[in-house]
Structure formats: C-alpha cells, structure tokens
C-alpha cells in the first residue's frame, strides 16, 4: 500500500429508534436511494482501497441492500451497540494489511462532499476531525482549538458555560492513519454514564502521545444527520433543491423546477426539457435534447437524444429508448429496447421486447410477456406496423415491414412483410339490437 492510500469506514449499525420504524435508519430513502448510498457515493469519490460498512441492527437487511448498492464493500458486524469506538473496532479485521489513511463516516449523514473528504484525506495532522460552525450549536459536542490545533472534544453535557459558547461543533467524522487507529482503539474505555466506547476520546489519547490533532471545517449542511422522519423530510427538500439548481446550471430546462424530483444518480444532458411533475427514480439517463413531458415516472432507463416521453408515461427498469423515439400518454415500457424512430403513441404496455427502428405501435397494444412463472420476449422488426388493440403473446416475433390487424391476438411468428390477422369473424344480425332492447324493457316493466 502507498502512504496516500485511503480506506473508509461507514458506521451503519444503529437502530434509529426515533424514526419510529421497523426499517433500519440507513435504509430509509433520500433522493430515491437508501441513506447509506449517499455515504457510499461520497466515499467512492476518493477511489478508496477499501470500504468497510459496520452493521448492527437488522444487519441482514442492511447487508442485502449493500450487496446491491456496492458489492465490493466489506461488511463488519457490531453485534452489540457499545458506542462509536467499539463500532470502528469491529472494522479493523477487514482493514488488516492496510497502512494508509482511514476516514470514518456515518451512514445517516448524506451530504458530506467528495471535496471535504479529499481535504480530510490529505490533511497532514496525525488525527483530523471534521467540524462546522453551527448557527444554533444546541447540544452538539464542541471542538476546543488552540494555536497548537485541536485540544479536545467536549460533549455538551460535560461542557461548562464558556465551552458552550463555542460555535465550532463536532460532526463525528474523523481521519487518521490506520496504524494510529489500531494503536489507539484498544485503549478506549467505557468509563462514562452510558457505558460506551466513544470515538471522540481518540483525540485525548492522541494528544497524550504528543501527536498533532487538528480540525477541517465544512458548511453545516454537509454534516446534517438524520434521526427523525421530520429531519428526513427536511433533508429531502434540501437534496431536491440542490439537484434542481444543479440541473438548471448544467443547461437543463425545468419548466416547473419545484415539481421535478430527482434521484441521487439522475443524469440529464444539456438542452433536455423536463416538464412539470416528473419523477426520476434511480438509474435514469436522459440525453441532450430529449423531452420529458408532464406527469411521467422514470426509473432504471435510458432516453436518447431527440426522444419524447409522455405526458403520463412510465419507463421502468431496462427501458432503452433510441434517438427520436416517441412514447406517448399512458404508455408503460419495461425491460425493452426501442430503436430509432419508434412511435408508441398511447395506451400501450411493452415488456421484455425489442422493437426495430421506425416501427409504429398502435393504441392498446400489449406484449403478453408473463405466463405466471416465466417472462418471455417479443421481437418486432424494423418498419413494422402493429395495429391498435393487438395482443402479442410471447414468445413471438413480428418481422420487418410486417403488419398486424387491429384487434388481433398474435400467437405465432409473423414473417417479414406479412399481414397477420388473429381475431374472431364478425357476425351481424339485422334488427336484433332493437328486438333485444324491447324484450329487456318489457321484462323490466313486468317486475
């Protein structure tokens, strides 16, 4: 390992009892993803050698989420919640052999930036704490700083009147060399009212060894921790405000910014136009020049340049729209690729399908892709014309330049250039409607 290598430990073991939830706190969603995903994203900006997430309460649920969010992250279990120092100690086996700088983050603190973490990682002090100037310091721990650097961290309940006047507060985030962490952690004691091992005590231990401790500061918003539903709601509002401002600065048109909702990883190209009441779930990319009309929901999909979506459309995971594709109102696309110039105007479901270029899909078309056990694919060639109210019973293929008659149920492959009609023959009974209605009215009067 090189000396400037970085590892990150994310503490995510707490229950979060103030959330009043059976769900672990770090799995509550912010910006469409679990809280811990924000910490992981910030950590990954450092290109760390290792990330270790310490789990505890509902560890199995958190581990399952981590396997999807960041499969390369190591997981350490804190079976008993005995304080932050005890939690970090559980991560040490996963850091065996690592000799770089370790940064300790929290899974419920979503807004710390990569720039702040980079400053922590490169700071020359033996131990560096992240602090912030609080508008209302309240019950935060205070950072006592002298000309020699950080002297000590004082918890609010232990602070005298003069110390409580200090506005510089402790975020809990800190960084130090792995060797120092291994040296100091075993020396923490739980000689306090809570009977817990506090990470903040590392500062005093480092100073007692003649080591240099210091403070890096950031905006208060970066250190915002989530402990209640109300705080989660405020954090969501802050996240969305930032995401909207960033999109506008990047050249995206938001016709009603306050009604557009972004996810953590939403990517939208310049000159894209986003209408009112559009919701982006995780995993969405919208290329430059595309337009998303009002009241659409997109998740796990890709929209190419020149495409239009909506209004009232839903793109589900695996939807891939090529250039100049049109997806209209009340259309749902799932796990399907629509090649260049495809038009799906209205009232249609396309699931597990591939649609060739410049094909037209008529209103009311459904790919019947699920047989109750397995999903099956529908393949539609280029320049095909699918008549309105066509049921495509997968697995099935409609060839290039082929057509289906309106109201057809297609259960067999349609060759290139062919017309397929699969509907019952119409039978017309002259005058029967009048006679039937007269008989029904007479029966009603007789009751």
Report how far residue 88's alpha carbon sits from residue 92's, in angstroms, rounded to the nearest whole number: 7
Cα separation of the two ends of the chain: 92
Sign, CA torsion 204/205/208/211: negative
Report how far residue 99's alpha carbon sits from residue 341's, in angstroms, rounded to the nearest whole number: 55
Dump the DSSP string for 305-323: TT-EE-SS-EE-TT-EE-T
Please list the residues that pair with 292 across neighbouring strands.
Answer: 274, 309
Is the separation of the CB atoms in 123 and 213 below 8 Å?
A: no
Peptide bond into 395 cis (omega under 30): yes
**Of 86, 123, 302, 346, catalytic:** 346
Displacement of CA 392 from its chain's centroid (Å): 33
Give me the numbers of helices (H) and strands (E) for the chain, helices first please: 9, 35
Peptide bond into 38 cis (omega under 30): no
Residues 6+ apart with CB under 8 A from 279: 260, 261, 296, 297, 298
Q: Check if 376 is active-site.
A: no
Angle between helix 59-69 and 35-44 (nearest 10) = 50
Known catalytic residues?
Answer: 346
């Amino acid at each position: 390992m090189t000396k400037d290598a970085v590892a990150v430990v994310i503490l995510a073991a707490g229950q979060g009892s103030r959330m009043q939830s059976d769900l672990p706190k770090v799995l509550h969603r912010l910006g469409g993803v679990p809280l811990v995903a924000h910490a992981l994203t910030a950590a990954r900006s450092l290109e760390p050698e290792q990330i270790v997430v310490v789990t505890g309460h509902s560890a199995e649920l958190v581990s399952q989420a981590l396997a999807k969010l960041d499969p390369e992250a190591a997981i350490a279990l804190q079976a008993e919640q005995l304080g932050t120092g005890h939690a970090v100690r559980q991560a040490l086996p996963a850091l065996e052999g690592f000799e770089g700088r370790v940064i300790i983050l929290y899974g419920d603190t979503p807004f710390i930036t990569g720039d702040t973490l980079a400053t922590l990682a490169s700071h020359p002090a033996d131990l560096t704490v992240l602090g912030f100037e609080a508008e209302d310091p309240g019950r935060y721990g205070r950072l006592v700083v002298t000309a020699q650097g950080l002297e000590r961290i004082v918890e609010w309940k232990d602070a005298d009147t003069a110390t409580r006047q200090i506005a510089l507060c402790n975020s809990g985030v800190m960084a130090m060399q792995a060797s120092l962490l291994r040296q100091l952690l075993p020396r923490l004691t739980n000689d306090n009212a809570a009977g817990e091992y506090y990470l903040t005590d590392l500062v005093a231990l480092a100073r007692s060894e003649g080591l240099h401790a210091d403070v890096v500061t950031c905006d208060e918003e970066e250190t915002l921790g989530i402990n209640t539903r109300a705080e989660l709601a405020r954090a969501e509002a802050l996240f969305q405000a930032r995401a909207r401002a960033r999109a506008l600065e990047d050249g995206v048109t938001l016709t009603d910014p306050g009604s557009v909702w972004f996810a953590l990883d939403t990517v939208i190209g310049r000159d894209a136009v986003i209408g009112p009441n559009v919701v982006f779930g995780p995993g969405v990319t919208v290329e430059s020049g595309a337009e998303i009309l009002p009241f659409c929901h997109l998740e796990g999909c890709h929209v190419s340049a020149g495409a239009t979506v909506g209004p009232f459309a839903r793109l589900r995971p695996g939807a891939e729209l090529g250039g100049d594709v049109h997806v209209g109102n009340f259309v749902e696309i799932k796990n399907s690729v629509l090649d260049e110039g495809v038009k799906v105007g209205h009232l249609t479901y396309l699931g597990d399908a591939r649609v060739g270029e410049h094909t037209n899909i008529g209103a009311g078309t459904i790919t019947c892709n699920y047989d109750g056990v397995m999903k099956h694919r529908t393949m539609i060639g280029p320049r095909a014309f699918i008549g309105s109210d066509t049921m495509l019973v997968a697995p099935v293929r409609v060839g290039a330049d082929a057509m289906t008659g309106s109201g057809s149920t297609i259960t067999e492959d349609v060759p290139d250039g062919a017309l397929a009609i699969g509907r019952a023959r119409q039978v017309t009974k002259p005058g029967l409607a009048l006679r039937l209605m007269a008989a029904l009215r007479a029966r009603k009067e007789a009751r």
